[in-house]
Amino acid sequence: MTGRGPYTVEDNRQLLRRFGIKVLVTKDSGDRGGVLEKLEAARLEGCRIVVVGRPPDPAPAACSSLTELISQVRGQLPAEFPTPPPVSVLALDLESVLAPELWQTVALAAGVHELAVTTRDIPDYDVLMQQRIRLCREHRLTLARLQEIIATIEPLPGAREFLAWAAARMLTVIVSDTYYELAAPIIRKLGSPLLACNWLAVDAEGYISGYQLRSPLGKAGTVAEFRRLGLAVIAVGDSYNDLGMLQQATTGILYRPCPGVLQRAPGLANVDSLRELQNELEKHSWEEA
């Protein structure tokens, strides 16, 4: 039987008579749950009534952080409930690790060489983005046109398979300085992994007019948030703007870095392919990463 409440006393009486019900078992759902109408209908039809009472409401525990909330939840579990192993996070850069550089693809398609510049060339991210915003307007590249170009990009060979392998072993997050409005097509092609990045501001004419960072500290701030939650983080990146998150991470790994980046982080592991990266990750215990 299907139906949608609230039901009147007469509705309930008809139901009791239709099925010849002699005993009514109901939870104490309160006035809004229609329990009074059920009880009255059962009385009028001569049914026995069994009411399942509500458990006493415990005093709510106040939590000021996710870490405290997790601790409170674990405290409510039975003693024999197994304690889950510590969670590790794999924080991966997107461009040049899992996908081609988005702006270099745009530069080639639009014939605007200056748009190919990345943080490998201009470490100051705001300077780089203001240059991109200016060039897009000068060359009439609206957000819609940028999205059209980026939709043609395919993941780098083996990227999707690598993500599936990693996600089976630890929480895998793409931490990028790109933008949701630009990255959506390539993220879908990668199997829709979790993405932590930034947002664009667009003016009435459809041009990029500014941007909003997910964290004022960029990728490093995102990794720091994971660390504050008590999570171990293995971070992987290739460029100047990745150095902060690699240093914030429990373990940092450089992926095909340019020489200048390598010189600034000589103590980090350095890999040249997704296969090498997988081998490097296998050296780490997921519980102790």
Burial class (CB in 10 A: 0-12, 13-18, 19+), 238: buried
Q: Which of 40, 57, 68, 95 is catalytic?
A: 95
- φ, ψ at 274 (rounded to 5°): -65, -35
Instruction: Mention every residue, 6+ apart, whose C-beta is less than 8 A from residue 20.
Output: none
Active-site choice (57, 68, 93, 154): 93
Length of the chain: 289
CB of 255 closer than 8 Å to CB of 90: no
Please give, one letter per residue, the 3-state secondary structure of the chain.
Answer: CCCCCCCCHHHHHHHHHHHCCCEEEEECCCHHHCHHHHHHHHHHHCCEEEEECCCCCCCCCCCCCHHHHHHHHHHHCCCCCCCCCCCEEEEECCECCCECCHHHHHHHHHCCHHHHCCCCCCCCHHHHHHHHHHHHHHCCCCHHHHHHHHCCCCCCCCHHHHHHHHHCCCEEEEEEEEEHHHHHHHHHHCCCCEEEEEEEEECCCCCEEEEECCCCCHHHHHHHHHHHCCCEEEEEECCHHHHHHHHHCCEEEEECCCHHHHHHCCCCEEECCHHHHHHHHHCCCCCCC
Catalytic status, residue 93:
yes
Structure tokens at 135: 């060039």
Could you tell me the two tokens for 201? 């501001």
Which residues are the active-site residues?
93, 95
